[in-house]
Amino acid sequence: MEDCCEQAGCDDKQRKQHVWKWERKGWHSHPFPSFVAWWEPSGTDPESGASVGGHPDARRVWARKDPGRWLRRRYGIPTESAWNIARYVIEFSSWQEAGSPEPDFPFISLAASLGEQATYWGELKPILERIGAAKKPERLLLEGRK
Side chain identity, residue 139: R
Instruction: Looking at the structure, tell me whether residues 62 and 90 fall in a common domain.
Output: yes
Whole-number mean pLDDT of the chain? Answer: 86
Q: Say whether both 57 and 124 belong to one domain.
A: no
**Is 0.85 topped by the overall pTM?**
no
Residues 60 and 120 in one domain: no
> 101 and 124: one domain?
no
Beta bridge partners of 73: 62
Partner residues linked to 111 by β-bridges: 64
DSSP state of 24: I
Do 130 and 96 reside in the same domain of the chain? Answer: no
3-state helix, strand, coil in the chain (%, to 5): 50, 15, 35
Residues 87 and 117 in one domain: no
Domain assignment of residue 9, given as a range: 1-30
Q: Taking a C-beta distance cutoff of 8 angstroms, is the pair 46, 7 a contact? A: no
> Are 136 and 93 in a shared domain?
no
Per-residue pLDDT of the chain (146 residues; tens, 9 = 90+): 567 777 778 788 887 776 767 677 666 777 888 999 999 999 999 999 999 999 999 999 999 998 889 999 999 999 999 998 899 999 999 999 999 999 999 999 999 988 899 999 999 999 998 888 876 666 555 665 55
Summarize pLDDT for 107-120 with one digit per residue, the tens.
999 999 888 999 99
Number of domains in the chain: 3
